Structure 1
Amino acid sequence: MRRVLLLLAASAAFLIGAENGMAEYTSRYSVDETAKRLVQILRKKGVTLFKVIDHSEAAAGVGVKLRPTKLLIFGNPKMGAPLMECSQTLGIDLPQKMLIYEDEAGKVHALFNTKAYLMWRHGVDPECAPKLQKKMGVALKTFARYATGNLKEGETPR
C-alpha cells in the first residue's frame, strides 16, 4: 500500500510540475480596470497590497514598447506565515503576485501561480495547515475571477 501511495504522489508531482503552474483568466476589462478591480477585492477582503509594478511604464523608461502589463503583489500574514511554517522556502513566492497583461490580440489576462504548484514546488505536506492551503486556492481564484469579471451572475465574492 505504501508503494502505491508513493507512486501516486510521484505521479501527481510530475503532472503538477509538467504544467506551467499558472492559472489564467481572460478579462472583460482593460489592464487598468482589471488591476483596479483586483485592488477593490483585496481591500474588501482585508488583504494587504504591497506594490503595483507597471512593467510597461518601466520598459518605456528604457525605450522599449511593451503592451500594458502590471504586476500586483499582495498577501495576508495570517495565511502566509502559518504556511511558511510548513515550508519556509514559500517565502520566495510569498507574498502572492498576479500579473495582468494585454496580449498581442488586445485581450487582457490575469495570471497567478496556482496553490497546487506552490505546494508542490515547496514540498508542503497536504496535512500541514490543510484549511489554509484550501483557503489560499479559493481566494486566488476568487480574486482573479472578480478582477476579470468572470464571476457567475448573482455570485458574490466570498
Structure 2
Amino acid sequence: MCEEPNAFGIDKIASAYDFSETIARLSAAIQSKGATIFAQIDHQAQAQQYQLQLTPMQLLIFGHPKIGTALMNSAASTGLDLPLKALVQQDCHAQVWVYLNQPDYLQLRHGFDDELLSPLRGLHTLLSHSIQ
C-alpha cells in the first residue's frame, strides 16, 4: 500500500534524504537537545522474521524528562503518548516519510497547560527541519 489517507493529529513530512540518513539526522537532532532515544524498533525486520513483506519502517522512541514530567504533571493521561515517537517509512516509490504527532493534537487530546506547548513545538520544528 503506497497511498494512505491523512491521519488526524499526525504530520507526515517528506524527507529530503534516504532512509538511513533520515534516521541518522533525526537521531542527531533528538540528542542535540539532550533527549534520550530509548528504543529504535525496526518494523520491517520484525515482519521479515515471519516471511512478511513491509517497506523499510522504523520507530524512534525518545524523550526528555524535563518536557515529559511537566506534561504528565499537568495531565497524567499524557503518559499514554509519552515517550514521544517518530516513525520513519520508505514508501513503494522510495520516498522517505517521517510521521510525528502534532503538538496541538496532543494538547487537545490530553488538555495540558498552554505553556507546555512551546517545548513540544520547538522539538517538532527541530525534527522537521533536520530532514528537509
SS at the partner of 1:46? coil
Residue equivalent to 1:109: 97
- Point out where structure 2 has 5 or more consecutive residues left out of the alignment: 1-6
Q: Is 1:134 equivalent to 2:122 in the alignment?
A: no
State the alpha-carbon separation in 2 of the partners of residues 103 and 52 from structure 1.
19
State the alpha-carbon separation in 2 of the partners of residues 96 and 133 from structure 1.
14
SS at the partner of 2:13? strand
How far has the Cα of 1:94 moved from its partner?
0.5
Residue equivalent to 2:4: none
Tell me if structure 2 keeps the 8 A contact 1:83–1:133.
no
Q: Is 1:31 equivalent to 2:19 in the alignment?
A: yes
Corresponding letter in the other structure for 2:69: A
State the alpha-carbon separation in 2 of the partners of residues 123 and 41 from structure 1.
27
Q: Is 1:119 equivalent to 2:107 in the alignment?
A: yes
State the alpha-carbon separation in 2 of the partners of residues 138 and 44 from structure 1.
13
Q: 84, 87, 91: which is aligned to 1:96?
A: 84
- Size of the alignment, in residue pairs? 126
Q: Deviations over 1:4-25 (max 9, x none)?
A: xxxxxxxxxxxxxxx6101121
Q: 28, 49, 53: which is aligned to 2:37?
A: 49
TM-score using structure 2 length? 0.90
State the alpha-carbon separation in 2 of the partners of residues 54 and 30 from structure 1.
16
TM-score using structure 1 length? 0.76
Residue equivalent to 1:156: none
Q: Is 1:64 equivalent to 2:52 in the alignment?
A: yes
Corresponding letter in the other structure for 1:107: Q
Corresponding letter in the other structure for 2:12: E
Q: Which has the larger radius of gyration?
A: 1
Pairwise CA RMSD of aligned residues?
1.2
State the alpha-carbon separation in 2 of the partners of residues 145 and 111 from structure 1.
13
- Point out where structure 1 has 5 or more consecutive residues left out of the alignment: 1-18, 151-158
Tell me if structure 2 keeps the 8 A contact 1:25–1:145.
no
Identity %: 34
